[in-house]
Homo-oligomer: A and B are copies of this chain.
């Protein structure tokens, strides 16, 4: 066993961290080590400024005039491009709107409309469930559409992709295990048999560089409230490669996706470009908060972000195994940093209770059924010392059995 780093070495890493200054952009509660930014990102000061401006100036003073004067109507595209820069999209390929679930629905319909002779959707049995529920929703009204699940119909998703497949719906990083898929390879595999791929980027947008266009991706969706720090339930995004835009049809064909939304014509005519993924009027206050959150990213080098993310998660694994290994915690995510998202999962037979005890002590991660403790590491506001301190709290809880009075706590969690 090699020696683990000591506290002086940890603090030296914080001091040398080129992203350290980003932490000052965020407001974090005192006494908390926040390892749940992969569920709900923290608030930045930029958000408060934008939100107050949106409510008190644009809405209260500007009233209806702000739809044009404050640029509300184009916010979905403006913010889409800000997200697009972080996921390898060109301007005009990403739009922010609605929810991830709804955008999955649109993207699946769009893919099916581009492959009218095919009727199979391939997805992952281990997916975050809403992806599967939305695929079910698409299949429920679209005649002949069937769903093939990895882990059910075959062990590996690659073995499910043949020339009957219209679209593969796949998570870039698995919400529970943190496993990262090879976007370029899987996309190439699907394209080789004429299938399209919808990437769910919920756990990679803002967690690492994503290169949709580099991977020749077709469609993608994701949320903005995890690593992008857009706020609780902040509107989601949807991406489509430019080469597909003209062929995309999706049934949530509301007036915001119309070619001429203010002509008030009787018949629907899809807008050119990514705007055809829009449907109804978007929640502007939440969008304006998101704008503040995305402005923070203007100053972030995503390669540095990824480097720090791997260092933080590597360190967490190393320290937990060294300091807590004797108490029966077991690594449940890839050990190799390059194959992992910005999160670490450990199992223990009392994971739920241990996580409750951690939260009570100010170390906030989350629990995923049946027995996983999930810890997210947002490189913008988590430091190396945080990792050290979190592990010491975990060790103390395990060593003293301080989780045992949590056994009867009500279980509830939100991803």
Contact = CB atoms under 8 A, between A and B. Distances in A.
Interface in A185-212: none
Contacts of A98: 98-99, 102, 280
Contacts of A234: 283, 285
A94 interface: no
A43 interface: yes
A67 B105 contact: no
A64 interface: yes
B281 A223 contact: yes
Given A140-B249, A249-B140, A99 B281 contact: yes
B65 A133 contact: no
Nearest to A366: B64
A286 to B, nearest CB: 4
| This protein's copies in its complex | 2
A42 B287 CA distance: 19
Contact of A233 (B138, B251, B268, B281): B281
B67 A414 contact: yes
A394 interface: no
Contacts of A56: 27, 43, 48
A26 B266 CA distance: 36
Given A63-B42, A130-B255, A284 B102 contact: no
A369 B27 CA distance: 47
B136 A253 contact: yes
Interface string A214-256: 0000000001010000011111100000000000011111111
A412 interface: yes
A55 interface: yes
A202 to B, nearest CB: 10
Nearest to A60: B43
Residue among A43, A58, A99 with most chain B CB within 10 A: A99
A373 to B, nearest CB: 14
A213 interface: no
A105 B251 contact: yes
A364 interface: yes
A143 to B, nearest CB: 6
A160 interface: no
A321 to B, nearest CB: 26
A43 B60 CA distance: 5
A323 interface: no
Contacts of A42: 60, 63
Contact of A359 (B29, B65, B281, B369): B65
Interface string A104-135: 01000100000000000000010011101110
Contacts of A231: 55, 59, 283-285
A236 B280 contact: yes
Contacts of A60: 27-29, 42-43, 48
A100 interface: yes
A388 interface: no
Interface in A321-362: 359
A318 B12 CA distance: 78
A13 to B, nearest CB: 25
Nearest to A44: B60
Nearest to A284: B232
B283 A125 contact: no
Interface stretch (A33-41, A81-89, A307-315): A33-41
Contacts of A47: 55
Given A140-B249, A141-B141, 6 more contacts: A67-B414, A98-B98, A100-B280, A101-B281, A134-B252, A262-B411
12 contacts: A36-B64, A63-B364, A67-B412, A72-B233, A98-B102, A105-B252, A128-B264, A129-B258, A129-B264, A130-B255, A130-B280, A223-B281
